[in-house]
Copies of this chain bind each other. A is one copy, B any other.
Amino acid sequence: MSRFWSNTVRDISPYIPGEQPKDKKYIKLNTNENPYPPSQKVLDAINKATNYDLRLYPDPEASLLISTLARYYNVADGEVFAGNGSDEILAFCFPAFFNTGDVISFPEITYSFYPVYSDLFGLKYETIPLNEDYTVNIDGFPMNAKGILLANPNAPTGIALELRQIENLLQKHSDKLVIVDEAYVDFGAESAIPLIKDYENLLVVQTFSKSRSLAGLRIGYALGNKDLIEGLNRVKNSFNSYTLDRVAQQAAIAAVNDDKYFKTSCEKIIKTRHTTAQKLVELGFKVLPSKANFLFVSHNKICAKEFFLRLREDGILVRYFQIKGIDNFLRISIGTDEEMNILVHRLKVYVD
């Protein structure tokens, strides 16, 4: 602690990302990375961008990436924002759309970065408990909040809301900004992007880190009506004009354009999720119905923490949260079929 720290920095509890251990080679099923590499076309695009022009600033507006995304989602360029990962975009939303002291609401169990952003930017937050089946209680959001922040599918449960539920929420809370964080949407849930034309209170945030296998390059984007996007641009341009580097912009464009590769790898993950879930059920696990690239599971004989520690010892990393309400669950990212077979085999040894 330094005498120069602000009150904010003194009081916040920063987010703790999943561990990236360096001690040995693990089967990494702990940070929801994609088990498949990015498209070869993405690697080619990076190689092409690795040239003398790196001495020059990138396009601060990322215009080509923006128009590529706009075309892909059939919206206008002005309805798209791009940033250094969806985390950065979510962070920008706070100063863009809320004033200090405003109340923002999100589920009690969700991406644990949301309360951290709220603290950093001086917002109050009101959390709503999940239903007993771990679904989001869509009717529970308070009327006095200024905004609603919702991961769909939710993390770490993986459970998705239906599009009509999102639409009902947008109608019921038409006076509030509703931010839908769709980091995991491509693995089987319905995106709310088609609703941005009809609901000016909707901002949808997505990422290249999961379904497009580019966690290593830090690219996220948001879609919403052009005034919301302009609000994000105003914050970005008051914070850091050049958030997306030359290489990342080119890689992202290539990733969007190789739609076939994208769809094929998403389908593979969905299939692996399905077969893994079945096998875990056979081993006596309770498996929440996931539309994400991970499974959220618990077992009534062995506690989650024990599974976590034993798996770690056996070279398999999964995520365990010491958080009330979910402290008997493991979050297991979907790896390759081979990785999941090894996992299932280990778990079978423990439960037998």
Contacts and interface: CB of A to CB of B under 8 A. Distances in A.
Interface of A: 1-2, 4-9, 12, 14-17, 20, 28, 31, 33-38, 42-43, 46-47, 50-60, 84-85, 87-88, 91, 95-100, 116-117, 119-120, 122, 147, 177, 200-201, 209, 213-218, 225, 227-228, 230-231, 233-248, 251
15 contacts: A2-B227, A2-B230, A5-B231, A6-B98, A8-B95, A14-B236, A15-B238, A15-B241, A16-B237, A36-B55, A46-B46, A50-B50, A55-B214, A91-B240, A117-B239
A87 B242 contact: yes
A246 B17 CA distance: 16
B57 A17 contact: yes
Specify which of A31, A95, A218 lies most central, judged by the most chain B CB atoms within 10 Å of its CB.
A218
Contacts of A57: 17, 20, 31, 33, 209, 215-216
Nearest to A17: B241
How many copies make up the complex? 2
A60 B17 contact: yes
Contact of A34 (B5, B55, B60, B227): B55
A245 B242 contact: no
B17 A120 contact: no
B85 A6 contact: no
Contacts of A235: 9, 120
Contacts of A225: 2
A238 B117 contact: yes
Main secondary structure of the interface of A (DSSP, over half): loop
Contact of A9 (B4, B51, B119, B234): B234
B88 A237 contact: no
A100 B238 CA distance: 16
B246 A217 contact: yes
Closest 6 CB pairs of A and B: A2-B227, A14-B237, A37-B52, A216-B246, A54-B216, A55-B213
A333 B227 CA distance: 36
A15 to B, nearest CB: 6
Nearest to A213: B55
A84 B122 CA distance: 24
Specify which of A2, A4, A120 lies most central, judged by the most chain B CB atoms within 10 Å of its CB.
A4
Contacts of A122: 100
A226 B225 CA distance: 43
Nearest to A217: B245
A216 B20 contact: no
Contact of A228 (B2, B50, B177): B2
Contacts of A213: 54-55
Contacts of A247: 46, 216-217, 245, 247-248
Given A2-B231, A54-B214, 7 more contacts: A4-B231, A5-B231, A33-B57, A46-B247, A56-B216, A116-B237, A119-B238
A147 B53 CA distance: 37
Contact of A14 (B38, B99, B234): B234
Contacts of A243: 84, 88, 218
